[in-house]
Chains A and B, each alone.
Chain A
Amino acid sequence: MSEYPEPIPVNVITGFLGSGKTSLIQRLLNSPELEETAILVNEFGEVGLDHHLFRNLSETTILLGNGCVCCTIRGDLKDALRDLFSQLTRREIPQFKRVIVETSGLADPVPIAYTLQFEPVLRHHFRLGNILTTIDAVNGAGQLRSYGESVKQVAVADRLIITKSDLVEYGELASLKRKLAGINATAPIIDGARETLRPSSLFEDEMGNGGTGPRTARPWFAPDGRGEPAIGGEISDEALAHRHSDGVHSISIRFDTPLDWTAFGIWMTMLLHCHGDKVLRIKGLLNVQGVETPVLINGVQHIVHPPVHLQAWPDSDRSSRLIFIVDAMNRADIETSLAAFNGLANPVSQKV
């Protein structure tokens, strides 16, 4: 182990009750890419079920005991990760290079991100990796209609994995994909039953170590992996606005004028202070004034990752692109406000 080891990525696998989180983890763990992985299981419902499924996988499996990771046992998550790291440094357990946390079906994944970023010890040793959300093709659409927890899990995801898609008709599956893209236009949608699931692709870092190459930003702007940009492309904001004018939906903003970093920071902190409960996710590729290469922004509600300075632009487009996943907020309001704040720093050019 080096003197200053890189933070260990913690990936969150979430999804509504019965959406196939455990099956997904079992499937992924068959890959040699995830040999050195610790699993934290948060059970909900039948006692110990998930734990028994995982007990042979690793000595570092820890069962979180109090039901839901989101609020009440965030301390348990903290203790579990601290304990894991302590055992790792004392070499009491095998080396692991990744942690996967499976949440309960009703969990809000955001407090996990909060814990990793702000817990005084953990923030030096762990970092949040991609959030994977499973959606049941059979019941997913109904759950999205009926349960806010399900919508939130989709909204904060970096990857959306549809499970049991072989049990539904093509039209039903296509409808579910459109609904998911409407809520979260930045996350690639993966058909878990028909596509090969490669951990290297699912867990590819966007904000963490090594995530500074130009391809890092591509997934955000090619939501379904087919290369169509979320902004101005097939899943355009206008189209989304018509389909999802109410409730949780994605909106995109493009700025041709370089953004003043100081003004942007003031604006975004103010926005999240006032509307953090309605801004579920922010992702952005920014053209910052005075900087030749783009800056990547990634936020989950009130929690904003440290921005990453990419080594190069992913394409020839030099405009700033921001995608917001919001609950009942208006694109024009956000755009107008950001333009005004940016104009405060650059009073001559307020062109959007």
Chain B
Amino acid sequence: MCALCSMLGGQDHWTDTASNPESFGSRSQTHTRHRERQDRMRLINRIVGHYGLSVSDWSGNAYVVRSATGRTLMADNLSQVWKAASTITGKSCDPLDPALIRAIRTGSGPAGR
């Protein structure tokens, strides 16, 4: 638990294994946990931008999911990010959605809602 904010430490998430130098060999020298987190933020925001959302890192321990109107939800891990995004937008964030895939490929902004 963080003594400052009383936040309980979250459980290890399977995607965080990449930050473990022993697990990902040669990446360990250059690919730090911090760098991994930055990369993840960059890619996640490319995805959630399609839904008019943004995600930021909270002290390397959680994610903050925000809508354009300021509605904000916390997520403990990557899996929870999608739950939070669905809660805020009221619709499912489907990686198989052709509109999302088109947006990823073309780099376009939020889908019309």
Residues of A within 8 A of B (CB): 118, 123, 261-263, 265-275, 288, 290-293, 295, 302, 304-307, 309, 333-334, 336-337, 340-341, 343-345
Contacts and interface: CB of A to CB of B under 8 A. Distances in A.
Given A270-B95, A337-B95, A337-B101, A291 B15 contact: no
Interface string B64-108: 000000000000001101110010000011111000010011000
A341 B11 CA distance: 26
Contacts of B44: 266
B9 to A, nearest CB: 11
Q: A interface, by DSSP: helix, strand, loop or mixed?
A: helix
30 contacts: A123-B11, A261-B18, A265-B14, A265-B40, A266-B40, A267-B95, A268-B15, A269-B82, A270-B47, A270-B94, A273-B93, A274-B94, A288-B24, A290-B24, A290-B27, A290-B31, A291-B25, A292-B25, A293-B25, A302-B79, A306-B12, A309-B25, A337-B95, A337-B96, A340-B105, A341-B47, A341-B95, A341-B104, A344-B43, A344-B46
A261 B24 contact: yes
A291 B83 contact: no
Contact of A266 (B17, B25, B27, B43): B43
Interface string B1-44: 00000000001101101100011111100010000100110011
Contacts of B83: 273
A13 to B, nearest CB: 25
Contacts of A272: 79
A269 B94 contact: no
Contacts of B81: 269
B93 A269 contact: no
A340 B104 contact: yes
B25 A270 contact: no
Contacts of B95: 267, 270-271, 274, 337, 341
Contacts of B79: 269, 272-273, 302
Contacts of A306: 12, 14, 17
Contact of A275 (B18, B36, B96): B96
Contacts of A269: 15, 78-79, 81-82
A208 B52 CA distance: 41
A327 to B, nearest CB: 14
B14 A307 contact: yes
A216 B60 CA distance: 33
A59 B38 CA distance: 52
Given A270-B93, A291-B27, A265 B47 contact: no
A118 B12 CA distance: 10
B105 A265 contact: no
A266 B40 CA distance: 8
A307 B17 contact: yes
Contacts of A265: 14-15, 18, 40, 78
A137 B36 CA distance: 49
A271 B82 CA distance: 9
A306 B83 CA distance: 21
B79 to A, nearest CB: 5
A273 B18 contact: no
Nearest to A265: B15
The 8 A-B residue pairs with the shortest CB-CB distance in the complex, in nearest-first order: A265-B15, A273-B82, A270-B95, A304-B14, A269-B78, A340-B101, A274-B94, A333-B96
A48 to B, nearest CB: 37
A272 B27 CA distance: 26
Contact of B43 (A262, A275, A288, A290): A262
A190 B98 CA distance: 41
Given A118-B11, A290-B27, A262 B40 contact: yes
